[in-house]
Structure 1
């Protein structure tokens, strides 16, 4: 697969900054305060949803001041594309979830197909309770399930194609220091 790096660079050059780095960092700090208050005594099993949740997890976890067990999972619908397809599990959890409180950390709650499948998996695997933390919750009417909500949300966001802080554009710009929207998308 050939990548047009000039195009990738131009996407960033033309993008709209929705949330600058300082606002994103403040949102992560607010989420940490809430999680510390709610989960400190629950011995949670924490899952980072790869790859999107990696940066958010890396910023959030050092702010959690209680013992927790950390793992990861990888389920995707995008596969470096700009629209989702069928859910594909790249890595399922390999630890027991039975009677554990679980915290799922992901970059974004968009339509929620992937997060919904992860929640279903955790519940079926015996989790006592599943909590969701997302950096971004997109505002629109296309949620996969009307009951799907994240308990911990960093920032609400308009319905555009976003990248930065773990979210990508065709596999690139997960490392962007802020939340950006692709021009025209």
Structure 2
């Protein structure tokens, strides 16, 4: 992947959400999460790498005290299709009896996110709340996975920016882009 190919991708993309629009939605999410936590001190569990940018901003929008940790998991291991969950890094904070706020960049089909959520429950979390920057709208979602807190809805297109990558580039773009059909 070269800078030229990223530039071509940007020229062949639409801006779906600007940073200002995302800032507004993330602030709203913070208020909703505060209301849902009602005085609890949850484990704020960021899914790496994609959620890094969103998680930092979301954490600053939440007034509730948080205990931070992160996970890194994959179902792909270099393949095009997923299999069983493989941990690159499991949570280090004990989850038993705790509320977990699982934070990710996007809810697309949701297989990996569902596997991470279910693993948190197996580790003893009393509940797992899912906060995502965006949800892709389509009919291919894994059964039993929905966001408790969602920033924006996206069309069923290839998206990148604001934590989401375009061939391992462009995660730090301050907007969400979608390749034109």
TM tier relative to shorter chain:
over 0.9
The structural deviation recorded for 1:79 is 6.8
1:45-75 Cα deviation digits (max 9, x unpaired): 1101100110101111111112110000011
- 1:75-90 paired onto structure 2 within 5 Å: 75-77=73-75, 85-86=82-83, 87-90=85-88
Q: Cα 1:180–1:80, aligned 2, differ >3 Å: closer, same or farther?
A: farther
Correspondence for 2:153 among 156, 166, 180: 156
Name 1:103's counterpart in structure 2.
101
Among 123, 138, 141, the residue aligned to 2:139: 141
In the aligned structure 1, how far is the partner of 2:116 from the partner of 2:9? 31
Does 87-96 or 23-32 show the bigger shift? 87-96
Q: Which runs of 4+ in 1 moved over 2 A?
A: 76-81, 83-89
1-side partners of 2:11 and 2:77: how far apart?
A: 24
Aligned to 1:178: 175
- Distance across 1 between alignment mates of 2:32 and 2:89: 28
Q: Secondary structure in 1 aligned to 2:169?
A: coil
TM-score (norm 1): 0.91
Distance 1:154 1:110, change over 3 A: same
Which residue, out of 2, 5, 28, partners 1:4?
2
1:112-123 correspondence runs (5 A) = 112-123=110-121
Check 1:43–1:175 CA distance in 2 against 1; reply closer, same or farther (3 A cut).
same
TM-score (norm 2): 0.93
Separation (CA, whole Å) in 2 of partners of 1:79 and 1:178: 28
Q: CA RMSD in A?
A: 1.7
- 2:126 is aligned to 128
Moved more, 34-43 or 95-104: 34-43
Aligned counterpart, 2:17: 19
Q: In the comparison of the two structures, how many residue pairs are matched?
A: 180
- Return 5+ residue gaps in structure 1 as ranges: none
Distance change (3 Å), C-alpha of 1:17 and 1:80: farther
